[in-house]
Amino acid sequence: MEGKIIGISGSVVTVSGLEDPMMNNIVFIGEKELVGEIVKIEGRNAIIQVYEDTSGLKVGEKAVDSKEPLSVELGPGLIGSIFDGIQRPLDKILSKEGTFISSGIKINSLDREKKWHFKPKAEEGKAVEPGEEIGEVKETSLIKHKVIVPINKKGIIKKIAEEGDYTVEDTIAVLEDDKKTEEIKLMTKWPVRTARPVKEKLSPTVPLLTGQRAIDTMFPVAMGGTAAVPGPFGSGKTVIQHQLAKWSDADVIVYVGCGERGNEMTEILTTFPELKDPKSGKPLMDRTILIANTSNMPVAAREASIYTGITLAEYYRDMGYSVAVMADSTSRWAEALRELSGRLEEMPGEEGYPAYLGRRVGEFYERAGRARILSGKIGAATIIGAVSPPGGDISEPVSQNTLRVTRVFWALDASLANARHFPSINWLNSYSLYTDELDQWYRKNIAEDWPELRDKSMATLQKEAEINEIVQLVGYDALPESDKLILDVARMLREDYLQQNAFDEIDTYASVSKQYRMLKIINQVFDAEKAALERNVPIEKIQSVQVKPKIARLRYTKEEEIDAKIKEIEKDIEEIKKTNVEK
């Protein structure tokens, strides 16, 4: 039965006359059939959050219940796409001028015409379970799309298509289960607000390597882990997210640009398609899905965008891939939630956010994880969320609720950003709760002494902060030489190691092996200098060995030239070792 609009308040519409309305089901609103979701049921009325521009909508227009929850289409063609928050292909809903024109136009998320080359990977007669791989499609130059049995289906393969070209709607297999037959297509659907199931969650014992020294060395995030990047405007949140999207060793990247200024999103939309994957040289978009919701797009679609993003990520996780989701910024998402909650006249909680903000934030990050997927293989979804607290003060609700559930905290710092120390990750108050779990991986795969080197370097930086307080009181000259030495080494660690220029061709990425060599040589210089001081060699004499400029150049040294440069510095270290009290 058709319903009727009886009230409109911005993007929230009240509808009467729907038969058995159900929470979270999609309703097509008005003559234009705008997409909306039931978010509240009051007596006989359904309150609907509309994902499109409602201007021009009138009371009395019709409303049709789809009887289905807000879902995304899953299948080949996702990678390389740019969608809005409810998975509509952006190139099809934006005018040439970049304005949003799409009210009510029905567009499929996945192309219905395009043919994909399908290769069967299972035989007829085989019994298959949900999530099991039955075929493969080469989706892009980087991604083999595993065709898996949909999660709610199983049975004996009655028929499977021969190798050949098929659209997402062609039947590629027929299953029989209890005499019932089910047709399998390349495309399935999944409700975005429901996490896709896995067999079991696994411990996060493998790092997501990012090529960013401050992250991989000091505050690593695990594959399948969660990280928060809070920081004031201009502190470098977006640059970090872009760096991770470009350089992290995930197989698939889902980038959710959420409510940020239009021009920032335009930058992604224009630069990403031109970027190359550093390892393969293939276009970066061959492993990337972009979801864009700029501040000028409808607020409800922004609220949905992070769920759309994580659902697409889970889908690729379920093929056995490591997927990383970047959400920039979750604060804009939370503001959308607040706005919608206000329109629903719900009781506001802290700072006007709904009382369920914390639960929603928690539910989102809980969908991350490294897991044994239904097929028995391992897949992972990592979530990295930027948070933009007003004024940079993280005591506000979105930051607090995020920090409660995420296990890595990269605290971006306005004063570091002002001093052009980038990435402006404050090494004194950032943390990673994965460090201990990942140490074994680093020991085994990089170097036995990695954890010690990291701890020693961190201790030097902490000591620097303490010494700086003393300097405030007594002045630099009054410091003992050993403290002066520590300040010196700490400066190297900050300027030549933690700082990393995202826009320098070489410095933008450092392999973990390069990171290890750099960190090790800095600490070797430190040890040699300290030993010389202990032999009573004057600090001026120790420092007359010109090692620092060479260390400073390591950042800008190509991976394949690092060994040679390190050898030169090792010679200098020998010089330092030879210094003595006499002339």
- Please give the residue ranges that form the binding site for Mg ion (CB under 5 A): 237-238
Q: Closest approach of Cβ 95 to ligand ADP, in Å?
A: 26
Q: How far is the CB of 389 from ligand ADP (least distance, A)?
A: 11
Asked whether 279 and 313 are in contact (CB, 8 A), the reply is no
Give min distance, CB of 424 to ligand ADP, in A.
Answer: 7
Rounded-to-integer distance, Cα 222 and Cα 249, Å: 11
Q: Are strands 155-160 and 171-177 parallel, antiparallel or unpaired?
A: antiparallel
Phi, psi of 301 (to 5 degrees): -65, -30
CB of 358 to Mg ion, least distance (A): 24
Number of residues that bind ligand ADP (CB under 6 A): 14
Site string for ligand ADP, 308-347 (x = CB under 6 A): ----------------------------------------
Do 63 and 2 form a contact (C-beta atoms < 8 A)? Answer: yes
Q: Which is nearer to Mg ion, 242 or 317 (CB)?
A: 242
Containing H/E element for 65? strand 62-69
Closer to ligand ADP by CB, 221 or 380: give it.
221
Q: Is 233 in the site for ligand ADP (CB under 6 A)?
A: yes
Tell which residue, 467, 461, 475, 477, has the closest CA to residue 526: 461
Strands 3-9 and 12-16: antiparallel
Select the residue interacting with ligand ADP from 239, 275, 414, 458 (CB under 6 A): 239
Closest to ligand ADP by CB, 244 vs 566, is 244
506 lies in the site for ligand ADP, by CB under 6 A: no
Closest CB to Mg ion among 30 and 232? Answer: 232
Q: What backbone phi and psi angles, to 5 degrees, belong to 429? A: -120, 5
Instruction: List strand residue ranges (DSSP E) for 279-377, in order.
Output: 288-293, 322-328, 369-372
Nearer to Mg ion, 78 or 297 (CB): 297
Q: Is there binding between residue 156 and ligand ADP (CB under 6 A)? A: no
Closer of 237 and 302 to Mg ion (Cβ): 237
Q: How far apart are CA 292 and CA 269, in angstroms?
A: 9
Per-position DSSP letters for 209-273, written without gaps between them: --S-HIIIIIS--BTT-EEEEE--TTSSHHHHHHHHHHHS--SEEEEEEES--HHHHHHHHHHGG
**Of 55, 436, 469, 503, the one binding ligand ADP by CB under 6 A:** 503
> Measured between alpha carbons, how far is 74 from 86 in angstroms, rounded to an integer?
13
149 three-state secondary structure: coil
88, 146, 193, 237: which one contacts ligand ADP (CB under 6 A)? Answer: 237
- Work out how close the CB of 507 gets to ligand ADP at its nearest, in angstroms, rounded to a whole number: 8
Q: Which residue, 341, 44, 367, 333, is CA-closest to 191?
A: 367
How far is 528 from 496, CA to CA, in rounded Å? Answer: 18
Could you say whether residue 502 binds ligand ADP (CB under 6 A)?
yes
| 164 is a site residue for ligand ADP (CB under 6 A) | no
Here's the x/- map for ligand ADP, 455-494, by CB under 6 A: it reads as ----------------------------------------
Residue 352: how many CA atoms within 13 Å on its side-chain side? 9
* Of 204 and 232, CB closest to ligand ADP: 232
Binding-site member from 25, 167, 235, 288 for ligand ADP (CB under 6 A): 235
CB nearest Mg ion: which residue?
238
Return the number of the residue (507 or 575) whose C-beta is nearest ligand ADP.
Answer: 507
Q: Cis peptide leading into 329, omega within 30 of 0?
A: yes
Residues 420-459 that bind ligand ADP (CB under 6 A): 422-423
Q: Which is nearer to Mg ion, 120 or 259 (CB)?
A: 259
Measured distance CA(524)–CA(528) in Å, rounded:
6
Q: Which is nearer to ligand ADP, 27 or 290 (CB)?
A: 290
What's the closest the beta carbon of residue 17 comes to ligand ADP, in angstroms? 46
Neighbours of 333 (CB within 10 A): 29
Separation CA 350–CA 89 (nearest Å): 36
Q: Residues interacting with ligand ADP, by CB under 6 A?
A: 231, 233-239, 422-423, 500-503
